[in-house]
């Protein structure tokens, strides 16, 4: 899918590396999640509501997608064309068209939704600060997290995801393709209409969102808006073992966002031993936490620069950790500690 959609995918695993998700929240909501496992599942359609939300939290296009195609020239049976022609015409209709425009709408029913970011730093952090988020909780094992949440409501809801959002729509919820091909976005969504749950406007890409949806059982999901849900609070104490708190302590937002010169540092508060402290000047994304198994099968957490970038790190300084710098499946990982010895993460700036 990413071969033509051109967006950052959330990969739970690459080789021996496990990649977490990040939930940016208000401090009181983060405290509730960490203390009691309180998970708030809003309805997807409520994010259309401009009177309730502001900024890029509002998305008036949630739950629908308009596809428009234009054919410069096509002669042949409808079934042999790509894109919308075989979707909107009978298979054996003979077409002879020039500069032919055609469109269709895909609508989905309301679902419960849980959103998180696939990156800690980069433009995701900028979006979080602009939206007034002041705390972050790292979901260390997203698969286990969502499995435990679903287990509480599985009699009423099915789950899909977590998976990356697909940033392809315009601000008014459209995608346009001229002379669609076999591997076009049009064919992808026609063949996978439930992917509309994950389709977002291109301007929202800085959120780098991965989401899971919880759909009511026995309800038609596609081409329907007849189901409207209320938000749901789910208490899942079991998920607390999958969570790690991240504190932005003594942090200048302008330094974190690269708008002002300064040094960004990470402090790993450990249950036993002095904190692990490290800083790396470039690239900022090197602070991306990753998880892996040690040779003695213990779960470890370290930090790696973005896995899809061919970046070269510089200015690394690491103290007080089990492994300063090592290789995991050819990925450079810094400042590794056993998860069992980590209390929380603190990010600060000079």
3-state SS, residue 283: coil
- Identify whether residues 46 and 149 lie together within a single domain: yes
- Identify whether residues 210 and 262 lie together within a single domain: no
| Token output for 141 | 């094992």
pLDDT of 2 reads 40
For the chain, the straight-line distance linking the first and the last C-alpha, in angstroms and rounded, comes to 41
* CB burial of residue 160 (10 Å; 0-12, 13-18, 19+): middle
- Identify whether residues 188 and 211 lie together within a single domain: yes
Q: Of 209, 239, 269, at which residue does a domain stop?
A: 239
Q: Which residue has the higher pLDDT, 35 or 284?
A: 35
Rounded CA separation 16/331 (Å): 10
Q: Of 239, 260, 295, at which residue does a domain stop?
A: 239
> Span 48-77, mean pLDDT?
86
pLDDT of 327 reads 81
pLDDT-based confidence at residue 78 (cuts at 50, 70, 90)? very high
State yes or no: pLDDT of 5 exceeds 50. Answer: no
Cβ atoms of residues 169 and 200 within 8 Å: yes
pLDDT of 29 reads 87
pLDDT of 248 reads 80
pLDDT-based confidence at residue 132 (cuts at 50, 70, 90)? low
Domain housing 214: 21-62+108-115+141-239
Give how far Cα 298 sits from Cα of 144, 247, 293, 341, Å. Answer: 17, 25, 5, 11
In a domain, 309, yes or no: yes
- Identify whether residues 232 and 260 lie together within a single domain: no
Rounded CA separation 282/313 (Å): 5
Q: Which of 5-9, 220-224, 242-246, 295-299 has the lowest mean pLDDT?
A: 5-9
Cβ atoms of residues 112 and 42 within 8 Å: yes
Q: Of 191, 219, 239, at which residue does a domain stop?
A: 239
Helix %, strand %, coil % of the chain (to 5): 25, 40, 35
Contacts for 72-81 with beta carbons within 8 Å, 24 or more apart?
A: 72/98, 72/99, 72/178, 72/179, 73/97, 73/98, 73/99, 74/100
- Identify whether residues 158 and 220 lie together within a single domain: yes
CB atoms < 10 A from the CB of 56, how many? 15
> Span 231-248, mean pLDDT?
92
- Identify whether residues 203 and 286 lie together within a single domain: no
pLDDT of 4 reads 38
State yes or no: pLDDT of 27 exceeds 70. Answer: yes
Q: How many CA atoms lie within 13 A of 264 on its CB side?
A: 23
| Number of domains observed in the structure of the chain | 2
What's the chain's average pLDDT?
85
Q: What percent of the chain has pLDDT over 90?
A: 54
In a domain, 277, yes or no: yes
pLDDT of 54 reads 62
Rounded CA separation 136/289 (Å): 13
- Identify whether residues 157 and 222 lie together within a single domain: yes
In a domain, 75, yes or no: no
Q: What percent of the chain has pLDDT over 70?
A: 84
In a domain, 72, yes or no: no
Cβ atoms of residues 29 and 239 within 8 Å: no
Rounded CA separation 322/338 (Å): 8
> Span 43-72, mean pLDDT?
85
The structure's pTM equals 0.87
């Amino acid at each position: 899918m990413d071969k033509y959609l051109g967006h950052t995918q959330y990969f739970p695993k690459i080789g021996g590396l496990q990649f977490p998700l990040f939930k940016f929240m208000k401090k009181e909501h983060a405290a509730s999640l960490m203390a009691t496992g309180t998970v708030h599942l809003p309805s997807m359609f409520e994010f259309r509501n401009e009177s309730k939300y502001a900024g890029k939290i509002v998305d008036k296009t949630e739950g629908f997608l308009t596809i428009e195609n234009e054919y410069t020239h096509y002669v042949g049976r409808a079934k042999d064309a790509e894109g919308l022609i075989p979707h909107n015409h009978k298979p054996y209709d003979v077409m002879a068209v020039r500069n032919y425009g055609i469109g269709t709408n895909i609508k989905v029913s309301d679902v419960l939704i849980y959103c998180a970011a696939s990156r800690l730093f980069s433009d995701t952090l900028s979006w979080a600060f602009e939206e007034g988020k002041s705390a972050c909780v790292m979901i260390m094992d997203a698969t286990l997290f969502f499995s435990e949440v679903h287990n509480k409501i599985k009699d009423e809801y099915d789950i899909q995801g977590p998976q990356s959002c697909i940033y392809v729509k315009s601000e008014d919820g459209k995608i346009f393709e001229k002379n669609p091909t076999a591997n076009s976005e049009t064919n992808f969504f026609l063949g996978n209409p439930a992917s509309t749950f994950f389709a977002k406007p291109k301007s929202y890409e800085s959120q780098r969102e991965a989401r899971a949806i919880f759909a009511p059982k026995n309800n038609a999901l596609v081409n329907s808006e007849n189901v409207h849900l209320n938000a749901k609070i789910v208490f899942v104490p079991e998920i607390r073992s999958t969570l790690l708190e991240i504190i932005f302590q003594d942090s200048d937002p302008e330094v974190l966002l690269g708008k002002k010169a300064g040094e960004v540092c990470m402090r790993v508060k450990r249950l036993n031993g002095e904190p692990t402290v490290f800083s790396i000047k470039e690239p900022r994304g090197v602070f991306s936490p990753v998880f892996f198994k040690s040779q003695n099968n213990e779960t470890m957490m370290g930090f790696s620069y973005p896995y899809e970038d061919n970046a070269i790190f510089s200015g690394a300084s690491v103290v007080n950790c089990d492994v300063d710098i090592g290789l995991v499946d050819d990925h450079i990982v810094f400042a590794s500690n056993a998860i069992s010895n980590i209390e929380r993460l603190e990010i600060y700036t000079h």
